[in-house]
Amino acid sequence: MINIQTDRLNIKPTHKNCWSIFDQQDDTLIGKLFFRNHWFNIILKPQSLRLGVATEASYGLMKAINSEKYMAKSSIPHAQQFLKELGFEPKNKHFEVTIEQLQQPDLYQSLNHKLGIDTEQLNNPKYHTTAQLVDSDVDCFQRPTKLHPKANQAWQSMKQSANKDGVNLQLVSAFRSMGYQAGIIQMKIDQGQILQEILQTNAAPGHSQHHTGCAIDITSDDFEPLSESFENSPAFDWLQNHAADHGFTMSYPRDNDQGIIYEPWHWCYAIR
């Protein structure tokens, strides 16, 4: 039994035929993988569902083991779809795939290709989708939001600290998936906007800090969300003086080297 490392995960053998899945960001146990006599199964904690963790962990394990075939069984529709995306095919009352047929869907390339974005020309960093999410605040548009557990804990602490100083911090947005990011860009394309201009304000799928579950857009009372005027607010002044104490830094100051417009509202938490 071997240790396996993927983009986001550390997968370690913990018992016979069993591997534990850990989030690389904070070493939290988020699931388990089982493999015995060609049969495999995966169990994830609720905060890691529908984030691509099952695909990444399962593909990583199966490629490392390199068995001639793999079998799995499930009657749950979304689990069956997950198996099919890995290359599994129905066989009798179970699903089966050979090592040659095993595949890992590339959401990053497929989404950017549909938008007409040449990923080879993108200069700003890539960001992996978080492996964990928990419910956070309702944002200023009354939408539910999610954050990485550690980022949410830091956000709640920072918000409470600001409130004690008479400053009201509000979320504008938090976690965004690659699919959601692609939808924002497609909507602007449909409205007739030019792609290159869109990418100055909206990062391409896979290049937004919001994928990490650690980035937040912030506003405050009487200020328009996502407006440069936020820099004139008491909230921005408070953030400049105190955000670092809670692990947050402003990602896109003026004249940043990533080519992103100045965003005084965008702050990101560094997991420690």
If the chain, 272 residues long, is cut into consecutive pieces of 10 residues, what is the mean pLDDT of each piece? 92 95 97 96 97 96 94 94 96 95 94 96 93 97 97 98 98 97 97 94 95 98 94 98 98 89 96 88
Residues 94, 192, single domain; the answer is no
Q: What pLDDT score does 258 carry?
A: 81
Number of domains in the chain: 2
- What whole-number distance in Å separates Cα of residue 240 and Cα of residue 265? 11
Residue 126 in 3-state DSSP? coil
Domain co-membership, 115 together with 224? yes
Same domain, 174 and 61: no
pLDDT for the residue numbered 272 = 82
Q: Do 70 and 119 reside in the same domain of the chain?
A: no
pLDDT at 2: 83
Please report which helix (H) or strand (E) contains residue 106, including its range: none
Domain boundary among 98, 130, 157: 98
pLDDT, residue 222, reads 87
Domain match, 79 and 24 both: yes
Q: Pull the structure tokens for residue 17.
A: 């035929």
Query: Are 59 and 130 within one domain?
Result: no
Residue 77 sits in the same domain as residue 149: no
Domain co-membership, 130 together with 66: no
Q: What CATH number does the domain containing 158 carry? A: 3.30.1380.10
Alpha-carbon Rg for the chain, nearest whole angstrom, is: 21
Evaluate whether residue 65 is within a structural domain. yes
Which pLDDT value is given to residue 124?
85
**Domain coverage including residue 53:** 4-98
